[in-house]
Amino acid sequence: MSEALLNNAQRLSKSFALRSAEFEQARRLPADVSDAMAKAGIYRMFVPQSLGGSETSPLVSSQVFETLAQGDAACGWVAFIAATSGSSLARIETSAAKQMFASPQTMLAGVFAPNGKAVKSGEDYILNGQWQWGSGTQNADWVLAGSMVIDPEQPADAKPRAHMCLVPKDAIEFLDTWHSTGLRGTGSTDFKLTDHRVPSAHIVGLEVRKMPDTPLFQFPNFTLLALGIGAVSMGIARAALNEFVDLAQQKKRISSSSTIAERSHTQMQIATAEAKLRSARAFYYDSVEQAWERALAGDTVDVDQRRNLRLATTHAVMASAEVVDCAYNLAGGVSVYQSSNLQRHFRDIHVATQHIMVAPSTLETTGRLFLGLPTNTATL
């Protein structure tokens, strides 16, 4: 299964690379592209095996996202959002989950941030809210809407709990807000729900709180989400380096008979960039492998390993941005034209760096843990 996933990712990456301009113009992925990733098994990588998913190792899934992003960053981004969202099916009642995932090509996507309010009404909940950053939601069959769940019958001092509500796409009102500098093809638009009735069985973690006792589900959802951002970022960086190397072997500076590849400055910069990306990638995959080995042994991924995973992920994103900047700057004026893929890689990576899961504050959190200081690890 792992080999098939990687082969599919490589095949799709090549075809997606030829359509990046189309994705950017549409500001979302076309249906045939999303369907192709679904048919390739990418969206069900984190779905429980009991429901027809593959429970793929994060070592493999990260390579899938990275490979897709080399072809087109938006495709890699939507892939990891959909795969991570699929893991939510592990924490809803089995019959409801089977109904939602009746087809192996079902796609879930959504927003974890609890921007909605779900108030109990009889056996159901009435959901209202508006969510930003809905990557891939316009292609999804079911949309996750993070919400504060409120039961009016609970004591007045009872705190609302954050859960994700699963809602059919047809109930969603999509807002045309995704006018971004980069990752344009992700369709990360706002969406809205008004007085939508949600069965309690469709609220993640409300009735089923225990995760399956299998290796994949020893990884917290926040960890899987962050890993996806790191993998996509490294894919963008590799694409930028490859693009620059091809350019450098042909482009000549004004009044020079030598290509820019023959300049010592270029050689030193590109060697440094390669070392930076390869080092970040080694740290990333080493951290994932160590955590996965622990999960395979039946142990929970502990705080130290979650710390390492988060640090490796944030470092991968930061290093990838530096690598893309290097390629963009070395290419000179050609980088600014829309005909250059480098300008797209530059825009894409600098949108990826803005995700809260890889924000500079993650360095503070991991740094506190290395220093043995009391630390809130809830989102590691």
Q: What is the pLDDT of residue 136?
A: 98
Residue 358: pLDDT band by 50, 70, 90 thresholds? very high
Distance CA 17, CA 25 (A): 14
Is residue 208 scored above 90 in pLDDT? no
What percent of the chain lies above the pLDDT cut of 90?
90
Is residue 76 scored above 90 in pLDDT? yes
Beta strand 108-121 pairing with 142-150: parallel
Give domain 219-370's CATH superfamily.
Butyryl-CoA Dehydrogenase, subunit A, domain 3 (1.20.140.10)
Q: What is the pLDDT of residue 141?
A: 97
- Mean pLDDT for 233-247 is 97
Overall fold of domain 111-204: Butyryl-CoA Dehydrogenase, subunit A; domain 2 (2.40.110)
Coil, helix or strand at residue 217 = helix
Q: Cβ contacts of residue 131 below 8 Å, gap of 6+?
A: 110, 111, 113, 115, 116, 145, 146, 190, 191, 192
Q: What is the pLDDT of residue 42?
A: 98
pLDDT in tens, 292-345: 999 999 998 999 999 999 999 999 999 999 999 999 999 999 999 999 999 999
Distance CA 193, CA 203 (A): 15
> Do 111-204 and 219-370 fold alike per CATH?
no
Instruction: Give Cα 209 to chain centroid, integer Å.
Output: 24
Residue 211: pLDDT band by 50, 70, 90 thresholds? confident
Q: Cβ contacts of residue 229 below 8 Å, gap of 6+?
A: 80, 313, 317, 352, 355, 357, 358
Number of other residues whose CB lies within 10 A of the CB of residue 22: 14
pLDDT in tens, 17-45: 999 999 999 999 999 999 999 999 999 99
Looking at every residue in the chain, the average pLDDT score rounds to 95
Distance CA 249, CA 259 (A): 6
Q: Cβ contacts of residue 330 below 8 Å, gap of 6+?
A: 244, 248, 260, 266, 269, 270
Is residue 380 scored above 90 in pLDDT? no
Q: What is the pLDDT of residue 257?
A: 76
Residue 295 and residue 301 in contact, taking contact as beta carbons nearer than 8 Å: yes
Instruction: Give Cα 223 to chain centroid, integer Å.
Output: 11
Instruction: Give Cα 127 to chain centroid, integer Å.
Output: 25
pLDDT in tens, 125-173: 999 999 999 999 999 999 999 999 999 988 877 888 999 999 999 999 9
Specify the pTM: 0.96
Give me 357's structure tokens: 């899961």
Is residue 1 scored above 90 in pLDDT? no
Is residue 255 scored above 80 in pLDDT? no
Residue spans per domain, the chain: 2-91, 111-204, 219-370
The region of weakest confidence among 70-84, 205-219, 257-271 is: 205-219
Give me 48's structure tokens: 């429980």
Number of other residues whose CB lies within 10 A of the CB of residue 129: 20
Beta-bridge partner residues of 191: 131, 174
* Local structure of residue 125 (DSSP, 8 states): E
- Mean pLDDT for 46-73 is 97
Overall fold of domain 2-91: Butyryl-Coa Dehydrogenase, subunit A; domain 1 (1.10.540)
End-to-end CA distance of the chain: 29
Q: At what angle do helices 303-331 and 221-248 cross, to 10 degrees?
A: 20
Tell me the residue length of the chain: 380
Q: What is the pLDDT of residue 219?
A: 87
Nearest CA-CA partner of 162 in 225, 206, 217:
206
Q: What is the pLDDT of residue 155?
A: 82
Residue 68: pLDDT band by 50, 70, 90 thresholds? very high
Is residue 47 scored above 90 in pLDDT? yes
Q: What is the pLDDT of residue 154?
A: 85
